[in-house]
Structure 1
């Protein structure tokens, strides 16, 4: 019995001697503590947390093998801001910049067309350049995050965003405007994919709603800023000095806020068992379901509010008889509703269940679109469109939360990047295919509400293909 006790003490002390560099007095105190252990039962019931507490107290934090376990943050006087809040703040800034650029191109489209004397077919090419840059960034994000680190990816995103804006600010020849928009698309894509992967590691759907609500704030702000420029007869290209200045501020902030950020490592190692294989297959299934959901979600959102060709605006003008100016203000209600919905569902004690909650939101979206379809009064359109946006808003952050929560930390960045990149396909194909269909069928734009209802129903049914989340001890 004494031999067993002696072996246990030696094994317990060995790691502490190697990594903690304990002094002779500490070793002596620990030996005397172990000597007080009287029975075999007490030796084996000593908790791991007690040993860990001695170990952590003995070792400086800088020497630990897991940097993500350190408590990082910012202390301002007596106020301590935790690292999660700092990363959330930095993510909101990047998403605001991405949202601002997302609708700025569409809002500036008439001015660009007039300045360069272009046809609609030619000027519409600007949206393909932005889409190409965005998609390329989403595909490259995970590789670059692992190669150069999150902070440098964000600084690269800020440099691309500000650099593309700076090029356009001088109103160069139109081909260079397209180059500038491509560069901006790369920056925005890196912002969205990289910052979404950062927030995904918190496994908090409320955080995801918060950052995407700031995307909505940016998307809602750009048309008003550009409208103010147009009303004051300020040249369209001078607007782009605003994202240049904003990009510089965001780069400086990200340099400080993400200086110690490390991508979290695996919390547990899976063995090659039947259970592990089943878990891997489930994760692959989740990724494919997430791709289908995000493609449908982006198709719904961009068919209604695509920056290049807002089918909702055309529907309100041609079918509902709204004025050109009124229809655009009503479209802004959609983005206001999207932003409000994301903010509302990021509040504490408000939780949307993966399948039931998202299905209910999509059913309410269908109800709002059905009311828009059925009613003739133009006054009710304001409320109905805002309600549709409110129920649609949590869709994208909800899908990204579902995907990111169910994959291990090492795959979160790749899964998020692929999911967002796939959503861009829906964003491009949705409005395009709808435009082709409208030109070939007799009802024309009158089919917009039923198309949105069908897409929303397909999305709601796809949510029920999601397997329940694994329960872990």
Structure 2
């Protein structure tokens, strides 16, 4: 066989005509490229001070060899090497496949003296800040519902429109999120979310006519929807239930803070509109933090993604065809319906049915969200593991029992305890569902699936609150139906959990 040598300028390896020499040279090259991360332009670590580094890196998974076949085989075949024109065929200009190109990325690290905080933790911190801002509005509308009714002289049916306003903004933003993340990037989506959320809060803070309040709540819904869908997709790439629980614990923390602030304003006879300066300030702070953390964020690559899956329409079709998408959507609808109906109407229920003072009812709503937040933190601990189907059914049963206690008893102590316990066992339900879904979905489909799931959640939560408000205004039991409705929703959710496939062990 005629010997010849071809110098590959990209990889610095020599291909010989002899097949044994070819494979030996290739194996040697692979041994030199087994390092998963090659860092370039790394800044020196400082012994003192705080530094935020965006380090360029290249992820090299294997040597990228030019092949002579359109299937992208990594090594040449026998019939290829026997061809005397094989080397001409492997030139870059021949139109043949360049296999497995390295993926450049940015590695984010925060240096505080000798301590280095990795990018996963920084992304989690940024996600917690945004979801906290969105969580502020989860309970603010329900806690301010009596104030809206009194200030604008509205009926139950009319004041329920505030839930529809938030729903409209949330739903549209969730449906648009995956497209906008692909087009303008995660950082710009988060900056837009802050602008929308802050402008809505600023508008309501001047106590405009009720239709303008509805517009302001719609803008806040837009911002909250972008926050939740975008940040949930970021954390879903970690595929770690603990990270999801921690992020949604901050959502519960935001929902916990709002009733305390509104209750304090009510007790001091301060106009309700002053509350909205608080979320406005938080969103202004989040603009700066999100820009610093997410300005170079890119979606992790899906190395198994086929070329035909890369456009949004094809990925949407794949997501819709996955059974886990529909099962997850049904679960999240009931999960949000339970949380939103109970949260939005608990204050009115305690005042009208239990005879609780207006300021105390807001504090009890805060206790519900404190229990919910504590539950999410507790079940994110490393030694706590909740099984997907049996575990979540047990938690829902315990939550239903606590709501039944609230329904059957009417003492000060039982009200406080039952509300806190119901929140504690309900807390891990939503992040648990999202974590289950994220483990079944490939990285290339996470943004779309999460956006669809969050959009479905808002349908359940907002329409549930709206339908409940219309119903209690037309039936004689009125708000006394609240505990019964919650127990029914929890029972239906427990049944749907059994349709979720069992978790597979994947290497």
TM-score bucket (shorter structure): 0.7 to 0.9
Q: How many residues align?
A: 442
Q: Distance in 2 between matches of 1:137 and 1:282?
A: 18
Contact kept in structure 2, 1:139 and 1:418, CA below 8 Å: yes
What residue is the counterpart of 2:311 in the other structure?
A: none
Query: Which among 94, 98, 103 is matched to residue 66 of structure 1?
Result: 103
Contact kept in structure 1, 2:196 and 2:220, CA below 8 Å: yes
* Distance apart, 1:470 and its partner CA: 3.6
What residue is the counterpart of 1:219 in the other structure?
A: 255
What residue is the counterpart of 1:287 in the other structure?
A: 325
1:264 is aligned to 2:305: no
* Distance apart, 1:178 and its partner CA: 2.5
What residue is the counterpart of 2:34 in the other structure?
A: 53
Q: What aligned pairs does 1:157-306 form with structure 2 within 5 A after superposition?
A: 157-269=193-305, 284-306=322-344
What residue is the counterpart of 2:456 in the other structure?
A: 422
CA-to-aligned-CA distance 1:10-52 (integer Å, 9 cap, x gap): 7xx84xx31x5x5xxxx7xx99xx9xxxx99x94995996342
Name the Cα RMSD after superposition. Answer: 3.5
* Distance apart, 1:88 and its partner CA: 0.5
1:335 is aligned to 2:373: no
Q: Distance in 1 between matches of 2:118 and 2:28?
A: 29
Query: Which among 413, 427, 432 is matched to residue 393 of structure 1?
Result: 427
CA-to-aligned-CA distance 1:360-412 (integer Å, 9 cap, x gap): 21122122223333445442221122111101011111111111221111111
* Distance apart, 1:112 and its partner CA: 4.4
Cα gap change, 1:356/1:51 in structure 2, threshold over 3 Å: closer, same or farther? farther
Contact kept in structure 1, 2:198 and 2:283, CA below 8 Å: yes
Cα gap change, 1:323/1:298 in structure 2, threshold over 3 Å: closer, same or farther? same
Q: What aligned pairs does 1:343-382 form with structure 2 within 5 A after superposition?
A: 343-382=377-416
Q: Distance in 2 between matches of 1:48 and 1:402?
A: 40
Q: Distance in 2 between matches of 1:382 and 1:207?
A: 29
Structure 1: unaligned runs, 5 residues or longer: 273-279
User: SS at the partner of 1:135?
Assistant: helix
* Distance apart, 1:136 and its partner CA: 0.9
Q: Distance in 2 between matches of 1:196 and 1:113?
A: 34
What residue is the counterpart of 1:129 in the other structure?
A: 165
Contact kept in structure 1, 2:169 and 2:225, CA below 8 Å: yes
* Distance apart, 1:292 and its partner CA: 0.5
Q: Distance in 2 between matches of 1:334 and 1:327?
A: 11
Q: Distance in 1 between matches of 2:156 and 2:485?
A: 26
What residue is the counterpart of 1:94 in the other structure?
A: 130
* Distance apart, 1:103 and its partner CA: 2.2
Q: Distance in 1 between matches of 2:168 and 2:423?
A: 27
User: SS at the partner of 1:165?
Assistant: helix
Q: Distance in 2 between matches of 1:194 and 1:447?
A: 35
CA-to-aligned-CA distance 1:162-189 (integer Å, 9 cap, x gap): 1222223333444333222221111111
Higher alpha-carbon deviation: 317-326 or 401-410: 317-326
What residue is the counterpart of 2:482 in the other structure?
A: 448
Cα gap change, 1:435/1:47 in structure 2, threshold over 3 Å: closer, same or farther? farther
What residue is the counterpart of 1:275 in the other structure?
A: none
Contact kept in structure 2, 1:220 and 1:336, CA below 8 Å: yes
What residue is the counterpart of 2:447 in the other structure?
A: 413
Structure 2: unaligned runs, 5 residues or longer: 42-55, 60-101, 309-317
User: SS at the partner of 2:422?
Assistant: helix
Contact kept in structure 2, 1:71 and 1:83, CA below 8 Å: yes
Contact kept in structure 1, 2:163 and 2:465, CA below 8 Å: no
Cα gap change, 1:175/1:368 in structure 2, threshold over 3 Å: closer, same or farther? closer
User: SS at the partner of 2:384?
Assistant: coil
Q: Distance in 2 between matches of 1:196 and 1:254?
A: 15
Q: Distance in 1 between matches of 2:204 and 2:428?
A: 33
Contact kept in structure 2, 1:283 and 1:406, CA below 8 Å: no
Q: Distance in 2 between matches of 1:255 and 1:217?
A: 23
Q: Distance in 2 between matches of 1:290 and 1:371?
A: 29
User: SS at the partner of 1:263?
Assistant: coil
Structure in which a larger fraction of residues adopt helix: 1
User: SS at the partner of 2:144?
Assistant: helix
User: SS at the partner of 1:413?
Assistant: helix
